[in-house]
């Protein structure tokens, strides 16, 4: 009986395990292998030397990190403020916002980008009202890319943070108020520590989604410097440099792996203390 249960458990896990091997592990292995090969399939470090030392690629790395950090910081600040407002406000406006803030999650990305271009380009809808000479540059500019990152990430991040804030007992906050604690003290001593783990989860998801993004940077960002996702695509399909594109993919994977490791280590640390 126990043997049958073990076999049943293996049979149930096997499809997911095979899918993981075929769709994730094997492509990662192939990319790592190709990143160390030249056109004659010989081992070389040249691909990584190019990616890490070429001035154009160095600028792409710096630009990618700049956009990612700015976007992540703004996403966390705006999402946390919005989640806190929805959690602790009972006004009619907060109830309306609570039913509308997640709508961007159900709009396909390409449609959102198309609407953004029509809205903010120099001859778009806003420019027709205020005049193109008064219209700041958003399309083909870092400002537009950051705005699109906010559009894509704020709803999901707010949903995560709102769930964490909703789990904080109201009695904790009321007790702090009863002993004379001010709003900032309540926030930094109670609310923020109790929602820190979820904040770290939100940061991890936002970072991984932004650092390797392609569609928005490809359609609304400038040609140089580029986000690494766009640069990788161009090296693959335009320049036909498979080794260089694979090395960019490996470096992106390592960057995300570092963030994932920090998250997992922090979660294990919290579990050990609990």
The rounded distance, in Å, linking the Cα atoms of 49 and 79 is 39
Which CATH number among 1.10.10.10, 3.30.420.40, 3.40.50.620, 1.10.3720.10 corresponds to the domain 54-240? 1.10.3720.10
pLDDT digits (tens, 9 = 90+) for 205-250: 999 999 989 999 999 988 889 999 999 999 888 888 889 999 999 9
Query: Contact 252/212 with Cβ under 8 angstroms?
Result: yes
Structural domain spans, the chain: 54-240
Omega before residue 225 within 30° of 0, cis? yes
pTM of the model: 0.86
Is the alpha carbon torsion for 75, 78, 81, 85 positive or negative?
negative
Distance of CA 178 to the CA centre of its chain: 39
The rounded distance, in Å, linking the Cα atoms of 131 and 240 is 43
pLDDT digits (tens, 9 = 90+) for 99-142: 888 888 888 889 999 988 888 887 778 877 877 777 778 888 89
Among the ranges given (1-5, 229-233, 262-266), the one the predictor scored with the smallest mean pLDDT: 1-5
């Amino acid at each position: 009986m126990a043997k049958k249960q073990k076999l049943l458990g293996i049979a149930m896990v096997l499809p997911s395990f095979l899918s993981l091997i075929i769709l994730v592990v094997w492509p990662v292995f192939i990319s790592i292998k190709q990143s160390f090969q030249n056109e004659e399939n010989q081992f070389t470090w040249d691909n990584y030397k190019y990616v890490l030392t070429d001035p154009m690629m160095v600028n792409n790395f710096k630009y990618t990190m700049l956009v990612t950090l700015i976007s992540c910081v703004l996403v966390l600040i705006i999402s946390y403020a919005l989640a806190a407002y929805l959690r602790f406000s009972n006004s009619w406006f907060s109830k309306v916002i609570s039913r509308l803030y997640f709508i961007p999650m159900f709009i396909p990305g390409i449609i959102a980008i198309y609407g953004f271009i029509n809205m903010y380009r120099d001859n778009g809808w806003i420019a027709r009202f205020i005049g193109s000479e008064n219209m700041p540059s958003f399309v083909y500019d870092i400002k537009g890319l950051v705005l699109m990152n906010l559009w894509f990430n704020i709803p999901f991040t707010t949903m995560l943070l709102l769930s964490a804030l909703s789990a904080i007992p109201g009695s904790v906050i009321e007790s702090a108020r009863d002993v004379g604690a001010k709003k900032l003290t309540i926030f930094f001593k109670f609310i923020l520590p109790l929602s820190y783990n979820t904040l770290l989860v939100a940061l991890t998801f936002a970072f991984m989604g932004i650092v390797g993004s392609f569609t928005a940077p490809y359609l609304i960002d400038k040609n140089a410097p580029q986000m690494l996702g766009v640069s990788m695509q161009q090296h693959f399909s335009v320049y036909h440099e498979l080794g260089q594109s694979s090395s960019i993919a490996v470096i992106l994977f390592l960057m995300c792996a570092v963030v994932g490791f920090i998250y997992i280590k922090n979660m294990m640390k919290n579990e050990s203390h609990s």
